[in-house]
Amino acid sequence: MLDTHFRMKKVQMFYDVVSPYSWVGFELLQRYSRKWNFVLDLCPFFLGGIMKGSSNRPPGMNAAKAAYMGADLKRISAYYDIPLNIPSDPAEVMFNKGSLSAQRLLTAVKIHCPEYLVPVSRQLWLRIWSYDEDITTNDSLKLVSEKAGIPLKAINNLIDQVTTDSIIEELKRTTQEALDSGAFGAPWIIADVGGVRKCYFGSDRMELLADSLGEKYEGPLVDLKASL
């Protein structure tokens, strides 16, 4: 009975590592997964496809929003104890280089070695949003995978998978799934409790998510943070 009740509460988190707010939502859900009663399904999608499909524009393309975002991320970093640092050239990182290869890698990891999805995601966020390093080349993706603890043989297979039709189509499918549910940015979170679905945008809707799950929101839970 308890196991059945547990499985009735599911949270899908659609995310892209180019989004720093996705990192915040990711870490919060990792922390709360140790306290709340739910199944977490991490769903890498392509934020560029979400923006195009929803006719939205990234906040960084608006001067006022970009300025606010810089200050906001500093506050968030301190409050949630997540090592967020603005890259030296945010436009180059977010709009020119982008995250397509990284999101395809995460898609391949989820399919072929899902036990590494959390550490690989973290390592990608750390490279962009802590160390201001590249995530687009094969060498970068290999290094990320290595730091996440994936065996070398499996890493080479994952890199080969990134450009296959099956991985490309799966990332498109996940992105379309989010769009079909109303997504227009990242993170996009869907709570499914007994078949009743509620969608939340952003990392600052945890109180509402907790209410949907019948749980209590207790703030940033810094004492439960992962070692980064």
Q: Average pLDDT over the chain, rounded to whole?
A: 94
Residue 4 pLDDT greater than 80, yes or no: no
Residue 60's alpha-carbon distances to 57, 85, 128, 142, in angstroms, are: 8, 15, 15, 29
pLDDT higher than 80, residue 2: no
Domain 2-221 has CATH 3.40.30.10: yes
Task: List the chain domain ranges.
Answer: 2-221
pLDDT digits (tens, 9 = 90+) for 33-87: 999 999 999 999 999 999 999 999 988 888 898 889 999 999 999 999 999 999 9
Q: What is the pTM of this model?
A: 0.95
The CA-atom distances, in angstroms, between 179 and each of 60, 75, 79, 205 are: 21, 30, 31, 19
pLDDT by residue (tens digit) across 113-144? Answer: 999 999 999 999 999 999 999 999 999 999 99
Report pLDDT for 203.
97
